[in-house]
Structure 1
Amino acid sequence: MQDASPQRGSEPLSPRAKLAVTAGKMAAAVSRTAGRGSGSVIGGKVALKLDPDLLARLATHLDVVLVSATNGKTTTTRLIAEALRANGPVVSNALGANMPAGITSALAGGSDAKYGVIEVDEKYLATVARDVRPKAIALLNLSRDQLDRAAETRMLAEKWREGLSGTDAVIIANADDPLVAWAASSCPNVLWVGAGQEWKDDAWSCPSCGGVMQRPGDDWGCPECGFRRPPTTWALSGDYVIDPHGTAWPITLQLPGRANKANATTSAAVAAVFGVAPKVALDRMQSVTAVAGRYDVVTYLGRELRLLLAKNPAGWLETFSLIDQPPAPVLLSVNALGADGTDTSWLWDVDYTRLAGHPIFVIGQRKLDLAVRLEVAGLTFRVCENVDEAVRAAPAGRIECIANYTAFQQLRRQVGG
């Protein structure tokens, strides 16, 4: 498959833009030296302060794809980036800094790139799309997340619908999520992907009219207004991606689970928009073994630990499906810091009974909140002060470590993931 679209022109940056890029890189370097992280956010903030239009300027020479969702956007961004490297150099915000400042920092390092593969926070998608004029936008899912500061899912879907209406970009959208389907249906050029959706509790009412959605099998539709699942062009079928011609391409990822097969299906559809054939795209995706520490297996205190990120009910549901049958020990860690969202009421939406039979160990800033939830679920567990205590107390077997965002980062730093 050939990419018939013209290459976007590259214009030299203005003196002001060059100054902004340089200042941003210096700020990022100072942040790293001070041990305050990668510096991508502060670097981008400094650069945008000096040149508010810098993000748009940095994207002018790139063919850009934006990836947005509540769950899976970091992994899907990584898979798409690997696929597109078959056709040329890629710049990407691989570490997940997905708001305008972090995206600006990422693009500032991609002057020689052909493609920009950009993960975007759901709330900023329309704004970033306006600035970078993407060739494609991948929309994976919408579910409840960070309840104290994120908009309700229907409001986010409406923001997408209004912000992307009339866009020139090709939209690659998950037909199995009614909220995504409603948001994308305002766009003139949509490729619908049957990627599946295990978590359904955020889309029982019709986003179009508010009626009660009917969900027979894997289908969905609203009997009141007629809004229903669109016919798909690409689909996940078991261990295969089905392309628009009906050809089945095997998925042989090193990343585990059904959700990552769904991510690979969407990634293959995106890659085809940029002229990369499904076989080439899927073959390249095999090289991805971990994404920003997710799925890493590390040795700590003489034990194997697998690090799994789950930051909201939908993510926890998918993560539970990766865990071996009992008696594999499970370590759970939950924080409620700014990056997590401080409202932990979402714990009550997670079906922790799926962990029945596993030895469970609980740590983290909000370990007592989680302990109450596990107690109500009727599970046996042990609250520990830290990961060392939990690892030493765990019975034989690889320990499955599931943590939300900041708890995951803390765990990685401590155990070396």
Structure 2
Amino acid sequence: MTESTSTTTKRVRYNPTVAIVVAMVAGVAAGFIGGSRMTEIQFVGDIFFRLIQMCMVPFVMCQIIEAVGSLTGKQLGSIGTKAVVIFLVSSLLASAFGIFCTVLAQPGAGLASTDLVMSATTDLEGTTTSVQDTIVGFFSSNIFASMAGGSMVPCLVFSIFFGIGVSVYRTKIDEDCVAYKAVCEVNEILLTIIRIVMNVAPIGIFAYVSASIGALGLDILIPIGKYILVLFFATLIFTLVWFVVVQVYCKLPITKLAPKMFRMTVLAASTISSAVTLPTEMDDARNKIGISDEVASLVLPLGMPLNSNGSALHMACTAVFVSQMFNMPFEGSMLVYVCVIAWLLSLANAVAPGATLISLTMLMPALGLPLEAVAILGGLEYIVAAIRTTLNVNSDVFSALLVAKSENAIDYDVFNGTKRLDA
């Protein structure tokens, strides 16, 4: 009797990943059935995301300070340099691939004379930015203002410098550093808070997804469905190419690696936030895939703002689509310019829900495209963000695997399930 009861208990044990998948599917169904009425419960989803985001900037900063502070100068130079090079190259390739797929498929052709385009208006003002402004924006003149504004890249740069200072100081005094210990303890407390909030993730995700789909409606979705399909399949193909690269270089079979990344992929798609997904991503990278702690703790938080493969591909694809939709096609060297602009803007891309609107108001003026496109595409926030965020998150892990392999820092026993690390 006891054995039977125990077996039954195991069968009905709560699985957070399954719960999130169910909540996401139920949210989509409720959105289509309930329509615009579902927007009345969006505040529940907004509360969930705010609870997560209230800890995210200090959490990422503490993760990077702890990771950098624990390394020697030689280790930091080796791991950090490799990671940044992989980030920049892969995001540039993602941008180029997005352009290639959109030029090939022509999803915007024939839409210029439709009511959707002819009636598009917006009160938004474009945000212009130059290459110089983008680079200068990476450095904060007031770190507290950057933290309050959620500007991840300046916070990242400050955290790296702070971590380097901790590393040098620890080496100098040759004993335990109180500041380093304090950062580690704060990091653990913030992670505990995030884990507590994630217990209600299915509720928040259901509310946000159902409200987003309900507000979107079929009136917008049908005419630009081809654009969504092009973005989806371009992202899928680029992800598969990443899997092949990792399998060849790291000797990790796709059939084993993909299931180990399933939980983080579902969470990325459902929350549409690489920041919210980061704790789960780091846990699975260490305890399921076998990436060493020193690599995972540095590369994954570093990659969250700097390694936006999905954002680069999305913005490049969107720019070309809008040019086709308004009958302003890009050709020749202009496509190269689009590739570079989309790549640079992906580095300054927000890492939370609502990022699409910010990205588009920067992208359209930079390329001389009508800002009215934002009125058409802004409503697609959830769909396009779900697509791009999965690639953002997965490419961070792929990059970490390449770095870890070069540093001989992959535990294949953990990956093969013959060894379990403590979470």
Which structure carries more relative contact order (alpha carbon 8 Å, separation 6+)?
A: 2
Q: TM-score if structure 1 supplies the norm length?
A: 0.25
TM-score after normalising by structure 2: 0.25
Higher helix share: 2
